[in-house]
Amino acid sequence: MNNIICKAVFSTHNKVKLNIHGYLMVKNKNRGNLYYWYCEKQNLLKSYGRATTKLIEDQHYLQKTSDHNHVADASRVNPTSLENLTIPENI
């Protein structure tokens, strides 16, 4: 699991969230280069999804995850990339 790089996305309030297996995670705390994350739906759905990453050269490498009690929300994974989306005319 140490070589999985987690993609960072920005929230509407310009805060960093991580996309981990299709779930958006919010930073809880960090201790040195270890970062602890919780599911963004922790309060809404009582999700207990957690993750730990190690920051190496500005990349978050996944160390450990726990299960969520809901499915991943694919529409929320990368909200900032939609502005560059081009749709072919034949669709």
15 DSSP 8-state letter: -
How many Å apart are CA 49 and CA 8, to the nearest integer?
17
pTM score, whole prediction: 0.71
**What pLDDT, on the 0 to 100 scale, is given for residue 72?**
72
Domain extent listing, the chain? 5-84
**How far lies 3's CA from each of 7, 10, 56, 61, in Å?**
13, 22, 11, 6
**What pLDDT, on the 0 to 100 scale, is given for residue 2?**
62
Pairing status of strand 59-65 against strand 50-56: antiparallel
User: Could you read off the pLDDT tens digit of each residue along the chain, which spans 91 residues?
Assistant: 567 888 888 877 778 888 888 888 889 999 999 999 988 877 667 777 878 999 988 888 988 887 776 767 656 555 444 344 343 444 4
Domain 5-84, classified CATH 2.20.25.240, yes or no? yes
